[in-house]
Amino acid sequence: MTSPSETALFHPLTIGTAPDDAKPVLEQIRKTFGFVPNLMATFANAPAVLKGYLALDAEFAKTFTTVERQLILLAASLENVCPYCTAAHSMMLKAVLNVPAEEVAAVRDHRPTGNIRHDALIALTREIVQKRGYAGRETVAAFLAAGYRTEQIMELLLGVALKTISNYLDHLSPTTIDPAFAAER
């Protein structure tokens, strides 16, 4: 079996080896997280992608709750079959946001979580990813019946867009899962 680093088109850069445009961005990421995740270090190969991804993420951060955003990101990553992002968002939900392990396992196993709002959010995210932006009336109706607003469907698309960028990069250039996320592999 080959490792991600053997098949990668791009490799994570350090603050010292990154293009000048990416260095301050990576430094800020390091200050925020205590390390530079390999995905961000890989994005640094193209500073416009790194900056664009983080700008989109900053807008996405203004939508939904923190847990709901992570559920969207996890559901999209699962549908796109991205091991790196699945591990990262699972860790964020469990270790940082204290979402019960059983709920995260349910999402990962494509089972109901027992939370009507979360299940409607996850179902809509999955369907949008699976059907390339289409969603059935029943799925949308369940989302709205769970208490979400119509405009939040558009906001959900920000999370799907984020995951399309990172998941597709992982497909093109597999990213080694950071030690901080390895338990959720």
- Which tokens belong to 36? 């530079």
Q: What letter does residue 92 receive in the DSSP assignment?
A: I
pLDDT at 163: 98
Say what percent of the chain tops pLDDT 90.
96
Q: What's the pLDDT band for 173 if we cut at 50, 70, 90?
A: very high
Backbone angles phi, psi at 19, to 5 degrees: -55, 150
Q: Which domains does the chain show, CATH number per domain?
A: 13-60 (1.20.5), 66-175 (1.20.1290.10)
- Residue 9: how many other CB atoms lie within 10 Å: 10
Q: What is the mean pLDDT of residues 162-179?
A: 97
For 23-57, write each residue's pLDDT tens digit: 999 999 999 999 999 999 999 999 999 999 999 99
What local confidence, expressed as pLDDT, does residue 8 receive? 84
- What does the pLDDT look like over 132-166, one tens digit per residue? 999 999 999 999 999 999 999 999 999 999 999 99
Higher pLDDT among residues 177 and 8, named by residue: 177
| Cα(107)–Cα(128) distance, integer angstroms | 16
Average pLDDT, the chain: 96
- pTM across the whole model: 0.95
Is-contact 156 121, C-beta < 8 A?
Answer: yes
Give 98-102's long-range contacts (Cβ < 8 A, gap of 24+).
99/67, 99/70
Select from 136, 156, 180 the least CA-distant residue to 70.
156
